[in-house]
Amino acid sequence: MILIIYSGNKFQHNISQCLSEHCFLYDAVSNFQSAESLLKAQHYSLIIVESHGNITCLHRIKSVVETNPESWVMAVESDATAEDTADAEVDEANYYEIGVDDYLSGPFDARMFTARIRSHMRRSIPNQEHLKPSQGNEARIDIGPLRIDQRYHSVSINGQTLSLTAREFTLLEYFCRHPNQVFSRNHLLSEVWGYNHEGYEHTVNTHINRLRTKLDKINSIKNGGQLVETVWGVGYKLNVNGYTARALIA
């Protein structure tokens, strides 16, 4: 899974567009404070950080590197970085000195960016081999029309690929591991997001709605969004009635 830390400008659009076009799963936040919350709840194999070329930004990226030693960190200098906000003493060497694994600067090159992402993901895939039956984490789940593959963080419905963000993937995977079970919003916050705070239930609602919208757009199944059913007054469940559920070990 990939985490993007951006400030909401053209940088974010370019990065998100490339990842979506090539079906990479990701979460995106607009500041380091939000990133810290996600990183405490979930591991990301790759963290893409927007850099503004100044000392303050360099220190923040260094903190991300130091607190996430198992993640690959890529610093990408934003096209929007203004000359008056950049520090002359900050150069490419500084980024590698603080521990980043990759650095991109200059006009955004979609081909180069995608090639580097693919290179990293090829190296990270073997690390998923720790998912074994004895640990209770099936590498692949087939349930009804859905296929979830943990090794590649991929989802397909009747063979048609479903493009999801990292959080949507985790949410759908959780439902697939517990078919037909009803979960409250607070329960999903605790199990999928890793925290349980009153007032954050709207986060679950938002992700459920986005997931349903994407399921509805799949041509290989009619009314795919209805797979995620609302149980009024209780919460949500994955409705696979009429389907044969089975888990497969890859």
For residues 111 and 206, membership in a common domain is answered with no
What's the pLDDT at 24?
Answer: 73
Predicted TM-score of the model (pTM): 0.52
More reliable by pLDDT, 232 or 13: 232
CA distances from 57 to 88, 208, 234 (A): 14, 34, 44
Of 76, 78, 67, residue with least CA distance to 117: 76
For residues 112 and 141, membership in a common domain is answered with no
CB within 8 Å of 12: residues ≥ 6 apart:
4, 6, 28, 50
Instruction: Encode pLDDT of 131-151 as tens digits.
Output: 333 334 567 888 878 888 887
Q: What is the rounded average pLDDT of the residues 34-60?
A: 82
What's the pLDDT at 172?
Answer: 92
Last residue in a domain, options 82, 111, 126: 126
For residues 119 and 147, membership in a common domain is answered with no
Last residue in a domain, options 76, 103, 126: 126
For residues 76 and 152, membership in a common domain is answered with no
Res 85 pLDDT > 80: no
Supply the range of the domain harboring residue 45. Answer: 2-126
For residues 97 and 142, membership in a common domain is answered with no
Instruction: Encode pLDDT of 214-244 as tens digits.
Output: 888 888 777 788 889 888 888 899 987 633 3
Worst-scoring range by mean pLDDT, 89-103, 124-138, 152-166?
A: 124-138
b (16+ CB within 10 A) / e for 101-119: bbbbbeebeeeebeebbee
CA distance 24 to 19: 5
User: Which stretches does DSSP call E strand in the chain?
Assistant: 2-5, 26-29, 46-51, 72-77, 102-104, 140-143, 146-149, 154-157, 160-161, 228-231, 235-238, 245-248
What's the pLDDT at 113?
Answer: 86
CB within 8 Å of 181: residues ≥ 6 apart:
237, 238
More reliable by pLDDT, 169 or 82: 169
For residues 78 and 174, membership in a common domain is answered with no
CA distances from 109 to 34, 114, 122, 136 (A): 27, 9, 20, 41
What's the pLDDT at 77?
Answer: 80
What tokens appear for 96 in the block? 């590698």
Res 89 pLDDT > 50: yes
Asked if 32 contacts 5 with a C-beta cutoff of 8 angstroms, the reply is yes
Instruction: Encode pLDDT of 155-209 as tens digits.
Output: 888 888 888 888 888 899 999 888 888 888 888 888 887 765 555 677 888 889 9
Instruction: Encode pLDDT of 109-125 as tens digits.
Output: 888 888 888 877 766 55
The mean pLDDT value of the chain amounts to: 77
CATH code at position 197: 1.10.10.10
Last residue in a domain, options 75, 93, 126: 126
The number of distinct structural domains making up the chain is 2
